[in-house]
Amino acid sequence: MEAKNLKKYFKTPKGMLHAVDGVNFKLRKGTTLGLVGESGCGKSTTGRVLLRLLEATDGEVIYEGKNILHLNSNEMRALRKEMQIIFQDPYASLNPRMTVSQIIEEPIKLNKLIKNKEERFIKVLELMELVGLSERLINTYPHELDGGRRQRIGIARALSLNTKFIVCDEPVSALDVSIQAQILNLMKELQKKLDLTYIFITHDLSVVNHFSDEIAVMYLGKIIEKAPSEELFSHPIHPYTNALLSAIPKLTIKQDNEQIILKGEIVSPINPKPICRFANRCIYAKKICKEKEPALEKVCENHYVACHLFKE
Ligand code: SF4
Ligand code: MG
C-alpha cells in the first residue's frame, strides 16, 4: 500500500481543519507501519481515509497497484473483504445483543462468503480457535467477557473475510498491560500465519517498539519523522520524537535522557500557517522555523525527518 500526498480536510465554521495534510508512506505486504502521535494528530483519520470509511480531500491510496480512491462502490465492495479495521474499544463496536458466534458470523453472512449454515458454523469455530477463544464461549454475549476476550472477538470478526490488510486503531490502549502483551503477540502470530499487512495506530510509542517494522510519527496532520522501528528508537532526530521517546518508562527501552516535558499547546489545525507546526513547543526553534515549513527529507536509508535543525 502506498499513500501519496494524502489529505483530509474538514470544513468548520472557523475555517478548514487540516486533519491529514499531505501524508506519504509505502507499506510492504506482510509488514507493519506504526502510526504514532498524540490524540488529534490525524492518525485515526488517516486510517479511515485509507479504507475509504472517510473520503480523502486529495491524494492517492495505491493498493496492489490501483488507486483505490477512484474505484466505484461496486469495485470498492469487493475490496472491503480484504481491508478491515480493529477498534480501540471492541465493546463499543460489538453488538451487545448478539452472541460471540453471531458477531463473528455476521460479515460472512452479509458478504455471502459461505451460504451453507453448517459450513458457516465450522468457519466460526475455526476463527475462534485462531484467535484463542475457547469454543465454550460461543453462545456468550460481549458483556460477559473481559476486554482481552472482546478484542479477540473483534480480531476474529476482522479475519472472517479474505482479509489481507488491517487498520488497527489503538487496539490495546483500553486493555491492562498484561493483556496488551497477549493481544500484541496474537496479532503478530496472525500476521505471520496469514501474511497480513497492518497499520498500527497508537499514541503510545512503547507499544509499537517491537511490533512495527517501520514507524511514522505524526504531528498535526503531518508525518514529521519516519524510520525503521529500531532506527527510530536508537537514532531519533525530530525534537517531538525525542520528547515522545523520553516519556517511555525506562524499563522498556534503553535510554539515559531525562523526560522532556513539552510546554505550550498544540496549535490549531484550522488554516495552519506554512511554518513548522511544532515551533511553539520546540526548545530548538529558530527564526526559520517560524518562517518556513520543513519538508520531510531523507537522513539516510529509509529514515526521513521534517525539521530545519537536522542539516546542521
Ligand atoms: Fe523545532 Fe525548528 Fe525542527 Fe520545528 S523545524 S522541530 S521548530 S527545530
Ligand atoms: Mg484516534
* pLDDT of 254: 54
Q: Is residue 166 a contact partner of residue 85, using CB atoms and an 8 Å limit?
A: yes
* pLDDT of 250: 64
Atom of ligand 1 lying closest to residue 278 CA: 4
Ligand nearest to the CA of 264: 1
Which of 275, 308, 310, 311 most suits a substitution to test ligand 1, by most atoms within 8 Å of the C-beta? 308
Q: List, for residues 222-275, the tens digit of each pLDDT value.
A: 999 999 999 999 999 999 999 999 988 765 555 566 788 888 888 899 999 999
Residue 61, phi then psi, degrees to nearest 5: -125, 105
* pLDDT of 206: 87
* Assembly ipTM: 0.97
d(CA 169, CA 146) in angstroms, rounded, equals 19
* pLDDT of 257: 64
168: part of which helix (H) or strand (E)? strand 165-169
Q: List, for residues 131-179, the tens digit of each pLDDT value.
A: 999 999 999 999 999 999 999 999 999 999 989 999 999 999 989 988 9
Q: Report which protein residue has its CA nearest ligand 1's atom 6.
A: 307
Q: What is the Å distance from ligand 2's center to 40 Cα?
A: 7
Which of 220, 284, 304 most suits a substitution to test ligand 1, by most atoms within 8 Å of the C-beta? 284
Q: For the chain, give the percent of residues with pLDDT over 70.
A: 97
Strand order in the sheet with 303-305: 83-86, 165-169, 197-202, 32-36, 214-219, 222-228, 303-305, 297-300
Ligand nearest to the CA of 169: 2
Q: List, for residues 105-141, the tens digit of each pLDDT value.
A: 999 999 999 999 999 999 999 999 999 999 999 999 9
* pLDDT of 91: 73
- Give the pocket of ligand 1 (CB within 6 Å): 238-239, 276, 278-279, 282, 284-285, 289, 294, 307-309
Domains of the chain by residue range:
2-82+164-179+190-263, 94-163
Atom of ligand 1 lying closest to residue 279 CA: 7
Q: Which CATH architecture has domain 2-82+164-179+190-263?
A: 3-Layer(aba) Sandwich (3.40)
Atom of ligand 1 lying closest to residue 276 CA: 4
